[in-house]
Amino acid sequence: MIDSHCHLTIISKKAKEIEALLKRANKEGIFYFIDVGVNPNDIEFRLELLRDAEGVYLTAGYYPDYASLYTDVDLDAFKLKIKKANENKKYLYAVGEIGLDYYHNDLNKKDQKIFFAKLINVASEVNLPIVIHTRDAFKDTFDILKEEKHPERGILHCFTGNVKEAKKALDLGYIISFSGIVTYSKSDFLREVAQYVPSDMYTIETDSPYLTPQKLRGRSNEPAFIPYIAEVIAECRGESPSFVMKNALENTRRVLNFPLID
Ligand SMILES: [Zn+2]
């Protein structure tokens, strides 16, 4: 089973601690981990620490926080880093997280939109799917995706939209990723989405160390907590948690195309 979005090197910078937390996840049946990047400078360190960890696959991200800070030289360097990392063997399986975040900053919407559009094109150029972060910005996110030559495959990470917005993602062929937010008491709208989405169009993530599931709130989140999210989704769908987690793995694999461990 999989945690489709976590930040292992934000949880810990120490190889030993990461090893221990991966083991805790293994004990819960989680054997695949998508470690998601947030800026070009995290790529080398994450590769160094995680390259040889079994079942851990990486992405290269450029968070919307940088929308008013980057230069085109930075963007070229980002693209080059991805190409170089994947030159002899594939280490990076997606571009993301990238996207729009009007919740944290709605004063630079124009910058964010341009930045996101450029990054979508980077993903197309390096021939990788995208992992999208979108918060309070659904309309612009979909408008930009429609305008740009976007990759065929993608994940809307930490989905917080309603059924109507979910449908838009599905129409694009992008899958929806549910985080611990689906377990929160105020998230009825999200549990409706969990009920609505077809079996082949969703996945599950912790976004750890953030967004700890309801039952464990107060603790730092980690991949071992995936079953707490799967349990709620399974309940919404009238299915078993293991079936839900199996779909999550298959769907993420279809989108990111990483190898199975033997
Ligand atoms: Zn994240």
Q: What is the pLDDT of residues 172-190, one digit of tens each?
A: 999 999 999 999 999 999 9
Q: Are residues 85 and 92 in contact, defined by beta-carbon separation less than 8 angstroms? A: yes
* Percent of the chain predicted with pLDDT > 90: 99
Gap from CA of 159 to ligand 1 centroid (Å): 11
- Give the per-residue pLDDT at 85: 96
Do 136 and 102 meet the contact criterion of CB atoms below 8 Å apart?
yes
pLDDT above 90 for 120? yes
Report the separation in Å between the CA atom of 5 and the middle of ligand 1, taken as the mean of its atom positions: 6
For residue 99, give the DSSP letter: E
Beta-carbon contacts of 77 under 8 Å, excluding residues fewer than 6 positions away, are 40
Residue 207 C-alpha to ligand 1 middle, in angstroms?
Answer: 5
CA of 36 to the centre of ligand 1 (A): 6
| pLDDT greater than 90 at residue 259 | yes
Residue at 163: amino acid letter:
V
CA 79 to ligand 1 centroid distance, Å: 20
Domain chopping of the chain, boundaries: 2-256
Give dist(CA 215, CA 260) in Å, integer: 31
Give residue 262's pLDDT.
81
> Pairing relation of β-strands 175-178 and 32-35?
unpaired
Tokens at 77, concatenated: 């360097």
Asked if 18 and 8 count as a contact pair (C-beta separation under 8 A), the reply is yes
Distance 98 CA to ligand 1 centre (A): 10
Residue range 186-227, pLDDT digits in tens: 999 999 999 999 999 999 999 999 999 999 999 999 999 999
Residue 153 has pLDDT above 90, yes or no: yes
**Residue 236 C-alpha to ligand 1 middle, in angstroms?**
24
pLDDT tier for residue 68 given thresholds of 50, 70 and 90: very high
pLDDT score at 254: 97
Alpha carbon of 97 to ligand 1 centroid (Å): 7
Residue 250 predicted with pLDDT over 90 = yes
- 229: enclosing H helix or E strand: helix 226-237
Centre of ligand 1 to C-alpha 141, Å, is 17
Distance 121 CA to ligand 1 centre (A): 21
C-alpha of residue 215 to centroid of ligand 1, in Å: 20
Where does the pLDDT of residue 108 fall: very low under 50, low under 70, confident under 90, or very high at 90 and above?
very high
Report the chain's mean pLDDT, rounded to a whole number: 97
Is the pLDDT assigned to residue 115 strictly greater than 90? yes
Matching CATH number, 2-256, of 3.20.20.140, 3.90.25.10, 3.30.420.480, 3.40.50.12280: 3.20.20.140
Contact between residue 131 and residue 92 where contact means Cβ atoms under 8 Å apart: no
Measure 154 CA to ligand 1 centroid, in angstroms. Answer: 15
Distance 55 CA to ligand 1 centre (A): 18
pLDDT at res. 60: 98
